[in-house]
Amino acid sequence: MSLFETGVWGRPPHTGPRSDVLVLGGGLAGLSAVSALVDQGLEESIHIFERRSRDQYVRDRTWCMWDVGDNPLAKLATHRWHDWIVRDESRVVHAHSDEHPYLRLPADLVYDHLVRKAEAAPNVHFHFGSSADRVDRTEAGVQIATPRGEFAGRLALDSRPRRGRPSRNSLLQSFVGWEVRTRDHVFDPTVVTLMDFRLCKPGAIEFFYVLPLTENRALVESTVFAPSVVGREYHKQRIKTYIQRTLNTSLEEIEYSEQGVIPMGFDHAPRPDLSGVLDIGLRGGVAKPSTGYAFRRIQDDSIRLAHNVAHRDSPPSARGSSARSQVLDRIFLSFLRHQPDLAPNAFLDLFDRVPADDLIRFLTETGSVAVDLRVVRALRPIPFLKEILRFAQPSLRWPANPAKAMRFDRDEHTVLRAQ
Ligand SMILES: Cc1cc2nc3c(=O)[nH]c(=O)nc-3n(C[C@H](O)[C@H](O)[C@H](O)COP(=O)(O)OP(=O)(O)OC[C@H]3O[C@@H](n4cnc5c(N)ncnc54)[C@H](O)[C@@H]3O)c2cc1C
């Protein structure tokens, strides 16, 4: 009889079935981790606890990323674009890559693929409609409480969304996207708009993202980077304004909508060892801090983590990137936070001065030191030198009141009422 079953360390004896790896949350990170564990040939049982029911796995987001050749889910892409633009009032920067298209993966296809793969594995057990509410570390590993009883395992991979405010050195990327049909043919189906700053206000980092599907259908997304969440109503008004004033057409129908808040920062607990609870996905801080892109990093992290779980090796760092990339991320994030007025120009400079394939390698962290240097050289030095000084001089690191540095924060109420 195991220690766990006798409950000798003061907790009530475990009554639920035994299992070895528990996965809390069956979203992208949970399902990707299970898929990678199955690929590793793990024979121990895996239990996934997901709050949603099986039929609630519908399209609730649209994942996009550059194809850098090593993503097994890329085959699910419904669209591939080789051209994209970044623009403001005065500049339109066009980029093209033959080698690395920009992919669109609707979430329902990804969920369906990963859930079916897991269901086909004899050692994987789904608990749909089952929220993991209490998680306790035990000497033998971990114990969780669900409405269907308690479960114990040697290890839990936890992807449940984290509650609470981000730290002072983080930004939040808030967005609402509408897949719309417009009256006129205003979209070029061959060119993605990654960032359109034409409605960006002083002191804010605000842009529109447009994924064209046909000449009059596109996903139009309003995005703001700010120290606090920018409300949904604000984004909805902005999308209407963008379609009417900037695209100069009218909205005929909203065919689908999505929304989200992605943390951009370094708020995550380090992974101590391969026991107890390991945070994964956004909860584990896997999103790239300076951009919020997480899809590719979640795939990479799942593969490395699954290898180590199967071989009982120490866990990989959730950050996954090189020390060099982390320093660059910190400096760029600090720049966005403290000098938001200069951000649109910096993004345009990057797309203008760095060859497309190099920039993709840089953003996906698949480039060499030489690529990183080419990217750094493309940026105007003074604003970044200020951030390097801030980085090196802790007393300057963050202003006492971050709202002083980013007017969007102080001004949020005004911004929320805009147009
Ligand atoms: C609308 C949207 C669009 C995005 N687009 C992109 C993109 O284009 N490119 C990109 O790189 N990244 C994108 N992201 C960011 C990131 O890739 C996604 O947020 C991704 O889904 C994160 O995966 P995750 O598993 O960490 O979180 P989630 O996918 O949110 O999974 C968390 C899971 O936990 C479940 N859950 C919650 N509470 C409990 C509980 N108590 N017990 C059990 N289960 C629970 C939830 O139901 C959910 O299934 C987007 C995010 C959103 C929201």
pLDDT at 39 over 80: yes
Q: What's the number of domains the chain is made of? A: 3
- Is 51 found in the same domain as 34? yes
Any domain includes 149: yes
Any domain includes 100: no
- Give the end of a domain, one of 249, 278, 310: 310
Pocket of ligand 1 (CB under 6 A): 24-30, 49-52, 61, 63-65, 131-132, 159-161, 258-260, 262, 281-283, 293-295, 298
Specify whether 255 is located in the same domain as 275. no
User: What pLDDT is recorded for position 27?
Assistant: 98
**pLDDT recorded at residue 11:** 37
Take atom 40 of ligand 1 and give the residue whose Cα is closest. Answer: 131
What's the confidence (pLDDT) of residue 5? 34
| The pLDDT of residue 46 | 96
pLDDT single digits (tens) 69-127: 888 899 999 999 999 999 999 999 999 999 999 999 999 999 999 999 999 999 999 99
pLDDT at 144 over 90: yes
Of residues 200 and 7, more confidence is placed in: 200
Report the nearest-CA residue for atom 30 of ligand 1: 27
- State the DSSP code for 314: P
Distance in Å, CA 28 to ligand 1 centroid: 6
Looking at the fold, whether 241 and 342 belong to one and the same domain comes out as no
Question: How high is the pLDDT of residue 324?
Answer: 85
Q: Residue range 250-257: average pLDDT?
A: 98
Q: Is residue 95 part of a domain?
A: no
Point out the ligand 1 atom lying closest to the alpha carbon of residue 30. Answer: 25
User: Do the bridges between strand 149-153 and strand 191-196 make them parallel or antiparallel, or are there none, so unpaired?
Assistant: unpaired
Residue nearest to atom 45 of ligand 1 (CA): 25
- What is the Cα–Cα distance from 175 to 165, expressed in whole angstroms? 17
Same domain, 298 and 349: no
| pLDDT of the residue at 15 | 46
pLDDT on residue 170: 81
Ligand 1 geometric centre to CA of 10 (Å): 36
- For residue 357, what pLDDT is reported? 97
Whether residue 75 lies inside any domain: the answer is no
Distance CA 221, CA 217 (A): 13
User: What's the average model confidence in pLDDT over 45-55?
Assistant: 96
Which of 198-202, 242-246, 266-270 is the least confident region?
266-270
For the CA of 280, the nearest atom of ligand 1: 26
What is the domain-level CATH number for residue 223? 3.30.70.1990
8 A C-beta contact, residue 378 and residue 85: no
Beta-carbon contacts of residue 58 (< 8 Å; ≥ 6 apart): 107, 108
Radius of gyration for the alpha carbons in the chain, expressed in angstroms and rounded: 23
Residues 151 and 279 both lie in one domain: yes
pLDDT for 166 equals 65
Query: Ligand 1 centroid to 26 CA: how many Å?
Result: 9
Mean pLDDT of the chain: 86
- The domain of 209 spans 171-264
* Half-sphere exposure for 336 (CA within 13 Å, toward CB): 24
- pLDDT exceeds cutoff 70 at 131: yes
Distance between CA atoms of residues 67 and 60, nearest Å: 22
Each residue's pLDDT tens digit, 223-237: 999 988 999 999 999
The two structure tokens encoding residue 293: 């892109």
Mutation probe of ligand 1 site: the residue of 267, 282, 293, 298 with most atoms within 8 A of C-beta: 282
pLDDT in tens, 203-221: 889 999 999 999 999 999 9
pLDDT at position 70 is 81
Q: For residue 63, give the ligand 1 atom closest to its CA.
A: 8
The length of the chain, given as a count of residues: 419
Measured from the Cα of 259, ligand 1's closest atom is: 1
CA dist 260 and 170 (Å) reads 16
The preferred substitution site among 22, 23, 61 for testing ligand 1, maximizing ligand atoms within 8 Å of CB, is 61
